Chain A
Amino acid sequence: MITLDDVTLTYPDGDGRVTALDHVSVTGRPGTVTGITGPSGSGKSSLLAVAATLVRPDSGRVTIDGTEAAGLSLADAAHLRRTRIGIMFQQANLLPSLTALEQIQVMNELGEPGSRRRRAEVRDRGRELLAAVGLEPFAARRPHQLSGGQRQRVNLARALVNRPAVLLVDEPTSALDSAAGVAVVELIVRLTAEQGTATLLVTHDLAQLPRLDDVVELVDGRVTAALPTA
């Protein structure tokens, strides 16, 4: 479960400040995908950054899997991201020197040595996730040997390796053609249900909204509506 409660975020802008999020409240429930939509500059990415503990809000509460996340130190926020949050980036953001399987395994190498799981266990989990996203035969390929859709699938598998409570997805279809986009979103929805994550999915692709469980629309940093889905 993830809850953003009355969150306000401002950025410095010249002599003044611009409000990116204005008393925004959003809840993501386990096993469901909540879409965050809105026009450019509406605050979608800011909301995602706050939810990912990459930016501290000016006010309001952010609760992730029972942890109050808004005031965490940088190190504690990194630990929370590593253990309880999965992030699926817009541009896949795979590391060029790693194979598809290693992109997933690397998540176990980010903390201090004492906090890591057994490598064999992580490798098995990686293979399981690659199978779940239909990429097991591509485990040894590097990013440049994968298509855009395949890279996004690896991106998703990486985000799920630590069995996160919260999955944050940033514009997953923006670099894909429509067929690949549909396939990726359907995969996110299926794995969200299977893994029980509370997923927030930022998108401006209105064609994807009917596949989501809930949709919140942002305009000028404010929640304007909870839109109906199919």
Chain B
Amino acid sequence: MFVAWRDLRVARGRFALIAGVVALITVLVGFLSGLTGGLAAQNVSAVLNLDATRIVTAGGAESFADSSLTADQIALWQRAGAEIDPLGISQLRARHGDTSAGIALFGATTALDPAVPAAAGTVSLSEDAAAALNAGVGDPVQIAGSSYPVGSVTPSAWYSHTPVVWLTMADWQQISATTGAGDTVATVVVARGDADWSAIDAVAGTQSAGVLQALPLIGAFKSEIGSLGLIIGLLFAISAVVVGAFFVIWGMQRRGDVAILKALGAANGSLRKDSLGQAAVVLAVGVGLGTAVVVAAGLALPRAVPFLLSPLTTLLPAALLIALGLIGAVLALRPVTSADPLTALGSNR
């Protein structure tokens, strides 16, 4: 790193430029990762937080919205020995005073989630539902023509970009019947433990999948995450190419100096370490700056913006950017290793 550090010191402007580009790419990747995480959380957090081994939907259902489980199907699952909890899910509008908002209505028992009210006739609002409806404990909330007092406000939970309102299974089934799904007992079944899932599916006419595998059945999740994931992937590739291209050009400009060092007896290994060390410093500075901007902006963003600030959306992309940048720098080593020391002799320079 002897020459590398001094190059960094002397060519400050050049390295600041590439570190700035890396920082901007990091900001872009960080924002997109945070946004993707935030959108995903607004889509699936209520399902992800379920204590579940498998999520069971009606056979052939292409989404949770298509799924409708009958009492017979649920009884078959119960008889098969699996530990199960029926879960009703529907999306509709709720009103409190003059405020109305789209909500996800989750009907279940307290065995599934402690957020579910113990007694029928009341609802529990997740934090965001309470905020959207401007309602608190004791306030009446109108849902499908009936009034339900708010029993409690529970931690944040989202489903398909709407905040969750919890109520008992009986209340959910009643609302479901009034909205035209008369024989629907539940939308899905949450199953736990160990059982021959395929066999039960075959008998009950259902389909079941692990929680993560079931997420694409939530409306828009697949296309939303797929599009943003593709953009993030492309940004990772672009960052590797940009960093690699910079070091290719930098290496080509340094070929004369490298030829001198080789003529003086420099080992290829020490030249490689010098170049990669230089790349690592530039990447660490650029990625560090970019990540700091993302974290600061993430903390400053209003709650309404779906932005998830977590190691998964900050440290992981940062580590990936550094790793990919270093791969680009490794691929850019050829001008360094192929410099001909013979060119240092004579008046070639």
Kindly supply a per-residue 1/0 record for chain B positions 228-269, scoring 1 wherever the CB is within 8 Å of any chain A CB and 0 otherwise: 000000000000000000000000000001001111111111
Chain A interface residues (CB < 8 Å from chain B): 45, 48-49, 52, 54-55, 75, 78-83, 85, 87, 89-91, 93, 95-98, 102, 105-107, 109-112, 142, 158, 170-171, 174
Q: B265 is contacted by which of A89, A110, A142, A174 (Cβ under 8 Å)?
A: A110
Chain B residues, Cβ within 8 Å of A54: 263, 341-342, 345
With A78-B262, A81-B264 known as contacts, the answer to whether A93 contacts B349 (CB < 8 A) is yes
CB-contact partner of A109 in B10, B270, B347, B349, under 8 A? B270
Q: Are B345 and A89 in contact (CB under 8 A)?
A: yes
CB distance from A66 to the nearest CB of B (A): 18
DSSP class of B's interface residues: helix, strand, loop or mixed?
A: helix
Q: B346, A110: Cβ atoms under 8 Å? A: no
Given A78-B265, A97-B11, is A91 in contact with B349 using a C-beta cutoff of 8 Å? Answer: yes
Inter-subunit contact B269/A97 (CB<8 Å): no
B71 at the interface (CB under 8 A from A): no
- List the 6 shortest-distance A-B pairs measured between CB atoms, nearest first: A82-B265, A81-B265, A109-B2, A97-B10, A110-B266, A97-B6
Taking A102-B2, A105-B2 as known contacts, 7 extra A-B pairs with beta carbons closer than 8 A to each other, sorted by chain A number, are: A49-B342, A75-B268, A79-B265, A87-B344, A89-B263, A89-B344, A93-B349
The residue in B9, B261, B264 that gathers the most chain A C-beta atoms within 10 A of its C-beta is: B264
CB distance from B7 to the nearest CB of A (A): 5
Q: Are A82 and B3 in contact (CB under 8 A)?
A: no
Report B92 CB to chain A, min CB distance, Å. 68
Other-chain contact of A174, B6, B345, B347 (Cβ < 8 Å): B347
Report A58 CB to chain B, min CB distance, Å. Answer: 16
Can you list 5 A-B contacts with CB-CB less than 8 angstroms, sorted by A residue number?
A52-B263, A54-B345, A81-B263, A96-B257, A110-B261
Question: Shortest distance in angstroms between B275's beta carbon and chain A's nearest beta carbon?
Answer: 14
Q: Give Cα distance in the complex from A85 to B263, angstroms.
A: 10
Contact A97 B7 (CB under 8 A): yes
List A contacts of B345 (CB < 8 A).
Answer: 45, 48-49, 52, 54, 89-90, 170
Q: How many residues of B contact A (CB 8 A)?
A: 26
A82 to B267, CA, bound (A): 9
Instruction: Check A112–B342 contact: CB distance below 8 A.
Output: no
Would you call B269 and A112 a contact (CB within 8 A)? yes
Whether A55 lies near B342 (C-beta < 8 A) is: yes
The contact of A98 among B3, B265, B346, by CB within 8 Å, is B3
A90–B9 touching, CB < 8 Å: no
Q: Shortest distance in angstroms between B194's beta carbon and chain A's nearest beta carbon?
A: 55
- Chain A: CB-nearest residue to B256: A93
Whether B257 lies near A95 (C-beta < 8 A) is yes
CB within 8 A of B346: which of A55, A75, A90, A142? A90
Name the A residues within 8 Å of B262 (CB-CB).
Answer: 78
State the CA gap A49–B262 with chains docked (Å): 13
Q: Mark B5-18, 1 if CB is under 8 A from A, else 0.
A: 01101110000000
* Residue contact B270 to A111, C-beta cutoff 8 Å: yes
Inter-chain contacts of A142 with B (CB < 8 A)? 10
A50 to B349, CA, bound (A): 20
Q: Within the complex, which residue of B9, B10, B266, B347 is in contact with A78, where a contact is CB–CB below 8 Å?
A: B266
Chain B residues with Cβ below 8 Å from A106 are: 2-3, 261, 264
Q: Are A85 and B265 touching (Cβ within 8 A)?
A: yes
CA distance A102 to B270 in the complex (A): 17
* Contacts A49-B345, A111-B267, A112-B267; A95 near B2 (Cβ below 8 A): no
| Max chain B C-beta neighbours (<10 A), residue from A48, A49, A85, A93 | A93
Q: How far is the CA of A87 from the CA of B259 in the complex (A)?
A: 13
Q: State whether A109 touches B3 (Cβ < 8 A).
A: yes
A113 vs chain B, min Cβ distance (A) = 8
Contact B260 A89 (CB under 8 A): yes
Which residues, 295 to 349 on B, are CB-close (under 8 Å) to A? 341-342, 344-347, 349
Could you say which residues of chain B place their CB within 8 Å of the CB of A109?
2-3, 270
User: What residues of chain B lie closer than 8 Å to A87, measured between beta carbons?
Assistant: 263-264, 344
